[in-house]
Structure 1
Amino acid sequence: MAFSQLMQHPEVLLLLLAPVFFICIFAEWWFGVRSNKLPNSAQYRIPEVLCNLALAAMHQLSDIVAGLFIASVYLAFFDWRLLDIEMSPLWFVALLVLQDFFYYWFHRASHRIRWMWAAHVVHHSSENMNFTTAFRQSLMYPIAGMWLFWLPLVVIGFDPQWVVFAVLLNLGLQFFVHTQAIKRLGPIEWVFNTPSHHRVHHGQNPQYIDKNYAGILIIWDKLFGTFEPEVDTVRYGITKPVNSFNPLTVTFAEWRDMWRDFQNKELTRKQKIIQLFSPPATHQSEHVKRTSKSSLDG
């Protein structure tokens, strides 16, 4: 596919990158997992791999369907743009850096706002870390509001098609940080997100929770106080496990729990609204307390 054709349909970028992704998956399995050079938490277990692939397909489909609506919104805001940007190599670099900046805030919000966490938790719900973990994406991102974070780029004056391309390129490059086969990358660690930094982000160790939100550049975490180096062995997963390889269960578990809490008759209307947008850690703690109480009562 020619680049001009790709820019007409940037939503297919990840599909074009799929062969590279699968080559990396095979290499990780063949040279790392199969030869027992990687820890147990890097193993390729068929039920989970199939779940991850299904989640990726569902996410891709929802992006294509929702893209029709999102494109119309972006085009409407593009009429209000501040600048008439003629894309050039310099402007393209500026777009990638700005998009990564807004990705940091999207990612941070996805951990601190329960409504957004309900979608993003899918990506964190695995207790393993290998390249297929990157495929664990939610079809609910459009509902959660991910696309809202790229609106400033359109208002600045970047063509919506270039914005979508930058977003998907950022997501595609993040595939390569989901591995335990690469330890440290020397000076690269100072500026860029790396497997080591991202392993921390997937950890449920207390010191690792809500750290290293970087997409491509780790500098945002260092600037805004959310950086944490990898020191202790990472324990992957979330504090409220899903315990399922059913992609629909994985996708909707937190939405189900959020709806249950919203229906709590003991809460006022204001409290119900607040619990939708408060940090998810509060509700996870309450879940742990309820689970512990049920165990004691049993």
Structure 2
Amino acid sequence: MEKEKLSVEHVLAMDLPEIIVYAAPVMFALVALEWIVSAYQKRELYDKRDTLAATVIGLVNVGISAAIKVITFGIILFFYNLVPWTIPHTWWAYVLCFIWIDFWRYWAHRIAHENRFWWATHVTHHNSEKYNWSVSFRLGWTQHIKIIFFIPVALTGFHPVVFFICHQIAVLYQFWIHTEYIRKLPKPIEFFFTTPSHHRVHHARNEKYLDKNYGSTFIIWDRMFGTFQPEEEQADYGITTPVNSYNPVILCFHEWMDIVKDIKHSKSLKEAWMVTFSRPSKLAQKKEALQKNIDAGILEPRAKSA
């Protein structure tokens, strides 16, 4: 039997559950509870300006997601309709799809740390020097272009409804791992799943913790692909070059602005390509070395563009 072609209108008419919207009141209540407890214990895990910035970024992101919903649906549907096969819409399809999505979330996340262009879509999530449940709201306003990393899921033949429900659950999972209060869990859980302990490492700028623990729901991908790092020393949160701003627009676009500046100052197309797509940590090291040579008088500073 020939596979039924689906349209955006057809899928939207199904009135898919907005799982994240339903979960939002619980998430906000837990943020408030964690904030109150940390204040009572004088742990200073929250900063009101930082939390306000995270909340604004999160709310705007929800609006952007709703505004481009038809586009994201259209991309997934296009590739789903492209292949002649489909995976039956059954309970086990959700299990398989969730695991497959998580595999691609690992690679999308890893690339977003190891390629500066994609880092610009993700850095917002890391530019807070606090670590609490509100940090999970800090998702950059340009991060939606990462939908292209999930095209293989559509090409596998998972029904778009299965895809979008599993994807929402995967995003929702990220909330609870952004906390200092949940320490290490039993070993079987720590071995297979991404936990707060693993994710604290991921958000740290300690040298031994940089570019580690990309796993979204499952930490097994990091163990398989050599990017796993257990939590040992206390994490120092934030990015290696602090933004020093609580302005949501700056927090979402500072890396894009820096890329544009670096391209303008590039002397060749090759250099422009390098400053756009190099590994951010390697590029930062080169810039630091260059600045040291300038400060030492070994090199002359570049003339700024007019």
* Structure 2 residue identity aligned to 1:174: Q
Paired position in structure 2 for 1:54: 56
- What is the CA distance between 1:245 and its match in structure 2? 0.4
Paired position in structure 1 for 2:74: 72
Paired position in structure 2 for 1:15: 21
Paired position in structure 1 for 2:304: none
What is the aligned-residue RMSD (CA, Å)?
Answer: 2.2
Equivalent residues in 2 for 1:96-175 (5 A)?
Answer: 96-142=98-144, 145-175=145-175
Instruction: Provide the rounded CA distance (Å) in 1 between the counterparts of 2:117 and 2:104.
Output: 18
* Unaligned runs of at least 5 residues, structure 2: 1-10, 298-306
- Is residue 122–residue 251 contact of structure 1 (8 Å, CA) maintained in 2? yes
* Structure 2 residue identity aligned to 1:19: P
- Classify 1:291/1:14 alpha carbon distance in 2 versus 1 (closer, same or farther; 3 Å): farther
* Structure 2 residue identity aligned to 1:35: Y
Q: TM-score, normalised by structure 1?
A: 0.89
Instruction: Provide the rounded CA distance (Å) in 1 between the counterparts of 2:276 and 2:173.
Output: 31
- Is residue 82–residue 155 contact of structure 1 (8 Å, CA) maintained in 2? no
Paired position in structure 2 for 1:239: 240
Paired position in structure 2 for 1:223: 224
- Is residue 8–residue 161 contact of structure 1 (8 Å, CA) maintained in 2? no
Paired position in structure 1 for 2:95: 93
- What is the CA distance between 1:60 and its match in structure 2? 1.5
- What is the CA distance between 1:281 and its match in structure 2? 1.3
- Is residue 196–residue 230 contact of structure 1 (8 Å, CA) maintained in 2? yes
Q: TM-score, normalised by structure 2?
A: 0.87
* Structure 2 residue identity aligned to 1:282: K
Identity of aligned residues (%): 32
Instruction: Provide the rounded CA distance (Å) in 2 between the counterparts of 1:78 and 1:64.
Output: 21
- What is the CA distance between 1:295 and its match in structure 2? 7.5
Paired position in structure 2 for 1:201: 202
Instruction: Provide the rounded CA distance (Å) in 1 between the counterparts of 2:73 and 2:85.
Output: 19
Instruction: Provide the rounded CA distance (Å) in 1 between the counterparts of 2:84 and 2:107.
Output: 22
- What is the CA distance between 1:146 and its match in structure 2? 0.8
Higher helix share: 1
